[in-house]
A and B are shown apart, each in its own frame.
Chain A
Amino acid sequence: MATNIAAGADTRLWNAEADEHDPISARTFGFWLYLLSDALIFAGLFASYAVLDNSFNAAGGPIAAQIVHPLEGLIQTFAVLGSVLSYSLATVAMKKGSRTGVIHGILGAIVLSGVFLGIGAHDLLGLIAQGDGPDRSGFLSIFFTLIVSHGLHMVFGILWMLVMLVQVARTGFNQDVVGRLLNLRLFWQFQASVWVCVYVYVYLLGGYN
């Protein structure tokens, strides 16, 4: 160990090259941490669903088996998985540096998520129209909240995709845009995982009779 301060001493005290860190990795890691916290929001919602999913909390109104449509839910599942596939293929196009590929992938993702949201909205609006809205009972409150929370995530994701369409077309693949496209991929894949949990738990398990 060096004991004196001399140029050329074998103990290196300062490291100027260390300033290079990888901003894209830092960014996706930070966003991943956000997704973990978002997953815990859904965990709280699922826990609430577990508590409120019983006859006491249906207050004389419908229980899950009476209002869920597993087949429609299955179609929604295919739609959302297709949307994720489309966006993921967009990132393959990004790997190759193709702006048009990315734009097409994003557009496909938006269209398929529109299908998903359309079916879902039709379902929920139908329930409201027949008097079984979220203000009918505790069970219906959590039913609507869980599904709408997921839907809201999709809406924000679509808004993000629209912004990225503009940025990819305008700026191309600079560091910021690439980082955002990677984060959006994580987000989009995440919401599909959440949907799969919702489908199994609410639509299939709830539909048991």
Chain B
Amino acid sequence: MSNHLSDPLAHAEVQQARVGRYFVAFFSSSILMLLAFVVSQQQKLSYVQFAEALGALLLFTLISQAALFFGLNLSREQIWKSVSLALVVPLFIVTIGFTVVVFASLYARTMIPTDAMSMQPTLLQ
């Protein structure tokens, strides 16, 4: 085990908390989500464009949360969190993206066509 810190409150992760950063995080996430909502209510874009716009807004939101709420950066205290997150992000893309690709033509190949097939737009074209 270890020696204990003289004062746990002096630890870098406690000290990294900042009022300003948190308020900025709250407002930036809220505004980006409001924007996404407005875009969704407009109904001007095609499905693909809509998905791309939402994806971009979501990405910005997540990045701003990572930097502002979590406080991730490349400093010595945060480096391992940042590195491990960066290594795992491709796995999200693989899990969700590859699954979509794998299933994309499945129904067309294996199911008897019905009217239901064209009822709603979906990521699996």
Contact = CB atoms under 8 A, between A and B. Distances in A.
Interface of A: 19-25, 28-29, 32-33, 36, 39-40, 43-44, 46-47, 50-51, 53-56, 58, 60, 63-65, 70-71, 74, 77-78, 81-82, 84-85, 88-89, 91-92, 94-95, 97, 173-175, 178-179, 182, 186, 189, 192-193, 196-197, 199-201, 204-205, 207-209
B9 A92 contact: no
Contact of B88 (A40, A94, A179): A40
Contacts of A197: 58, 62
Given A92-B18, A201-B58, 17 more contacts: A23-B5, A32-B84, A40-B88, A40-B92, A46-B95, A47-B95, A50-B100, A54-B120, A58-B116, A74-B34, A89-B22, A182-B14, A193-B66, A204-B39, A204-B54, A205-B54, A208-B40
Given A89-B22, A92-B19, A207-B40, A19 B2 contact: yes
A10 to B, nearest CB: 27
A28 B77 CA distance: 10
Interface residues of B, number: 65
A51 B54 contact: no
Contacts of B116: 55-56, 58, 60
Interface of B: 1-5, 8-9, 11, 13-15, 17-19, 22-23, 25-26, 29-30, 33-34, 36-37, 39-41, 43, 47, 50-51, 54-55, 57-58, 61-62, 65-66, 69-70, 77, 80-81, 84-85, 88, 91-92, 95-96, 99-100, 103, 107, 111, 116-124
